[in-house]
Structure 1
């Protein structure tokens, strides 16, 4: 009897071992893969600020070192504005603020926009991106509007600057854009990146016809005062009396002459 129980226990042990090996050798279920998420394209980074360089200040060198401003650099050179800026920045203490459009900003213009401008208008366009005062990033909060530019005086050649938090918005009357980065800042010269070309109203907005002059008010003749009316009646009465007296004297003279002739 004990032998049978031992044999039965041995059989159970062998069966358990075989089942354990079978489970361990079976392939594991493949893990559930997470759904593929499309990569999100990050917005372009703001302009990297160029460190202050020793030696004379050169706007073209700063923009070329920063990259992505080749078209604006070309306009600066073509209009000789680069030379004027170099002289002003290195031989005076005048501050300058430049709003530099990226190459992408120029590609957003209508085809032929720049070619349609005269040489003088191209100079105005470049100078419209330059303010003759230094504006630090924090000073945009308190800058006075309209912000004058080197393009000339008047509201049609000026900028309006507003801020919302740390965002700085620039309005020309034709376009609105936002400063997207600081390129350079040395407490005399500040260069900021913008993603649209600043288009002045003087060049890109049609001149509105002058408003017609207001029609003249109808002439209203006020009635004469009572004293004047009384004087006029007196005058008319006197004239009538004078005429009557004159005519009477005239007739009396005629009658007298007639009588004398009869005698």
Structure 2
């Protein structure tokens, strides 16, 4: 019978000892060895997303003029809730009534563009759980600036109280940013709704009236008017005839005395 130079029990003990001695070293090398970094995701660029759509020139210009575009980029880097943007097409702006944009001052244009930005990320699925009214980035001390969102299986509609439009195309949808194309400019009720009638101005205090000069006839008292009757009145003619008759009789009496 042949015998192995290394009996099996001794071989097992040797392997176990070797494993015990080398395991801590392997663990240490695994912890200290550098891990190859994965690919860095490209930063989100709203302008690039809109340029790719090739029909949002006016909206891009307003984002730049109002500096809302810079605000959106900053929030994307610091927001935990994300953002949702409704991007009106160039045709949507062309269909506005003439003078609509020029009739807004600088602050109102900022509010109009911020009205197209929701302060959280909405996918088509999460639109179904949105609680109306939905606040926009324009909401603040100048007004509520909210929209109503209705969702069905394959359709999402956005209503402002002035106009309503369906959400047509998904330009980008990956947290933290969703960009949707719309065929109408969303007109906030706070800017384009009927204005309350202006309050009537309070009447000015009237100045005291100056006394007007009266004619002598107007200054005469009623008593004077009675004691000086007009010759045209009946009482005046009676007094005149009595005086004439008395004067005639006095003359005849004097003539008789002379005779």
**Is TM > 0.5 for Structure 1 vs Structure 2?**
yes
* Displacement after TM superposition at 1:207 (Å): 2.7
Distance, in Å, in 2 between the alignment partners of 1:157 and 1:207 is 15
Match of 1:88 in 2: 75
Structure 1: stretches of 5+ with no match in the other structure? 1-52, 211-263
Q: Could you tell me which of 122, 128, 147 is aligned with 2:115?
A: 128
- Describe the SS at the equivalent of 1:159: strand
Contact 2:135–2:144 under 8 Å retained in 1: no
Distance, in Å, in 1 between the alignment partners of 2:78 and 2:157 is 31
* TM-score, length basis structure 1: 0.57
Match of 2:196 in 1: 208
* TM-score, length basis structure 2: 0.58
* Displacement after TM superposition at 1:93 (Å): 3.0
Instruction: From the superposition, tell whether residues 165 and 186 of structure 1 become closer, same or farther in structure 2 (CA, over 3 Å).
Output: closer
**Structure 1, residues 44-100: CA drift from partner, whole Å, max 9, x if none?**
xxxxxxxxx942211111101221001000000000011111111123434100000
Distance, in Å, in 2 between the alignment partners of 1:164 and 1:185 is 18
Structure 2: stretches of 5+ with no match in the other structure? 1-39, 199-259
Matched, 1:162 2:150: yes
Match of 1:256 in 2: none
Matched, 1:116 2:106: no
Matched, 1:66 2:53: yes
Structure with the greater alpha carbon radius of gyration: 2
Instruction: From the superposition, tell whether residues 175 and 72 of structure 1 become closer, same or farther in structure 2 (CA, over 3 Å).
Output: same
Distance, in Å, in 1 between the alignment partners of 2:153 and 2:196 is 35
Structure 1 segments of 4+ aligned residues over 6 angstroms from their partners:
none
Matched, 1:102 2:83: no
- Describe the SS at the equivalent of 1:115: coil
**Structure 1, residues 159-209: CA drift from partner, whole Å, max 9, x if none?**
001123311111100001100010001121000010000000111012335
Give the paired residue count: 158
Distance, in Å, in 2 between the alignment partners of 1:185 and 1:67 is 18
Contact 1:132–1:150 under 8 Å retained in 2: yes
* Displacement after TM superposition at 1:146 (Å): 0.4
Distance, in Å, in 2 between the alignment partners of 1:155 and 1:178 is 24
Q: Could you tell me which of 128, 151, 155 is aligned with 1:141?
A: 128
Match of 2:176 in 1: 188
